[in-house]
Chain A
């Protein structure tokens, strides 16, 4: 959970992160009630949801970086064509 919270998950995978947090809280509550079986199940669910949040966020972050780079390449290309037309 901590690892996922430190990543971009709060921005890009807030639903999964929220679910993970809820499950973690529920797991802690189950621990208090000494329902260890339920606590273990909820902790396992919280773990996969946190991992999913983190992976989704990383994918989104990389996709955005790629989109930005694609835009700057377009800008470079059009700039490279400009001086040629100016010389004409």
Chain B
């Protein structure tokens, strides 16, 4: 039991010493600023977004350039404040790239919608024109029909008048015949009246 405890204690001391030495070793160089990794992550996210890569390549490249400057400066000078600032700029440039891509996407959508609206308006106008033409044709047909009705009524009227005239003539002829017959009759009847 005691042997084992001592073994572990030695091991623990050994590990602590190693950690302690490494910590002392690190304190000579400043810690890598978190901003650098944040900027790298933001840039990678923008670069891996196909919309950003295709719609905002210039803004994306500006973000990459700022990030590279920050990385190089870190490798060379370890100037924490300057690197933090450059990294923050690179991170915002990645955001700008993303916003620019969204803007371009919205613009493309707006163009599509404008075209769709124009098509709709054009169709509506064409439909209205067609309706107006159909209405005009219907009115024309109705007018034609009415004209035909008037015409046939007039024809009928003329025919009736002709028939009437004929009947009148016939009547007149019959009357004349009757008169003539009556004129002849008195000569027969005269001896009776005298």
Contacts and interface: CB of A to CB of B under 8 A. Distances in A.
Nearest to B109: A66
Contacts of A41: 81-82, 85
B63 to A, nearest CB: 10
A62 B107 contact: yes
A48 interface: yes
B96 interface: yes
A56 B99 contact: yes
A82 to B, nearest CB: 11
Interface in A31-88: 37, 41, 44-45, 48-49, 51-52, 55-56, 58-59, 62-63, 65-66, 69-70, 72-73, 76-77, 79-80, 83
A68 to B, nearest CB: 9
A48 B110 contact: no
Contacts of B100: 55, 59
A66 B110 contact: yes
A31 to B, nearest CB: 16
Interface string B82-94: 1001001100110
Interface stretch (B12-20, B117-125, B153-161, B173-181): B117-125
B120 A52 contact: no
A66 B89 contact: no
B109 A73 contact: no
A73 B120 contact: yes
B123 A59 contact: no
Contact of B116 (A52, A58, A59, A73): A73
Q: Binding site of A, secondary structure by majority: helix, strand, loop or mixed?
A: helix
Contact of B85 (A44, A73, A77): A44
B114 interface: yes
A62 to B, nearest CB: 4
Nearest to B84: A41
A77 B106 contact: no
A76 B117 contact: yes
Contacts of B93: 48
A19 to B, nearest CB: 10
Interface of B: 59, 81-82, 85, 88-89, 92-93, 95-96, 99-100, 102-103, 106-107, 109-110, 113-114, 116-117, 120-121, 123-124, 127, 131
